Amino acid sequence: MATQLNPYLGFRDNARQAMEFYHDVFGGDLTLSTFGEAHASDDPAERDKIMHGRVDGANGLTLMGSDTPDSMEYAKPQGFSVSLSGTDETELRGYWDKLAAGGTVLQPLVAAPWGDIFGMCTDRFGIGWMVNIAGAQG
């Protein structure tokens, strides 16, 4: 197997909703495991939090994420940005539309000085996204 780099997003207590949202955006398969299922927490308040979530998109994209229980305060979520790039304008615009819905558009998806189409947004879960459509004619 070739080496892969997969974004792993940290959430405080809404990883289930976020991973279900990303599953809707990217399609494919969604796998969610809770701290309770893994017997990784005795705290009833944390039993249903997501210990590991994974979306394996229909097109080969993989995105992972989890909640951060109180016992792991040292690992609390920080700011994240994820970059999506490619040449399939229809696919990338579809992702953009779904990611930006309910979020904040920081830079509209428009022609960039370097000749591509580029945009930045923060989705409804606070994750930053950069989308670059290479060689697009805008």
**44 shares its domain with 85:** no
**CATH number, domain at 55?**
3.10.180.10
What pLDDT is recorded for position 57?
A: 93
**Packing angle of the helix pair 15-26, 89-100 (nearest 10 deg):** 150
Q: Which of residues 69, 92, 109 is at a domain's end?
A: 69
Query: Which residues lie across from 64 on neighbouring strands?
Result: 8, 54
- Which tokens in the block code for residue 1? 């197997």
Name the DSSP letter for residue 75: G
Q: Which of residues 23, 43, 69 is at a domain's end?
A: 69
The dihedral of CA 85, 9, 75, 81: what is its sign?
positive
Amino acid identity of 124? R
- Which tokens in the block code for residue 134? 């290479």
Tally of CA atoms within 13 A in the half-sphere of 44 that contains its CB: 0
- Is 87 part of a structural domain of the chain? yes
What pLDDT is recorded for position 33?
A: 96
**pLDDT per residue over 29-88, tens digit each?**
999 999 988 887 778 888 999 999 999 998 889 999 999 887 766 666 666 789 999 999
Residue with tokens 């039993």: 47
Distances (CA, A) of 59 to 17, 32, 62, 69, 98: 22, 20, 9, 31, 16
Q: Is the pLDDT at 138 greater than 70, yes or no? A: no
Please report, for the chain, how many H helices and E strands are present, in that order.
Answer: 2, 8
Q: Which of residues 39, 69, 99 is at a domain's end?
A: 69
Structural domain that includes position 86: 81-133
Q: Are 12 and 77 in contact (CB under 8 A)?
A: yes
Amino acid identity of 99? L
Q: Is the pLDDT at 10 greater than 80, yes or no? A: yes
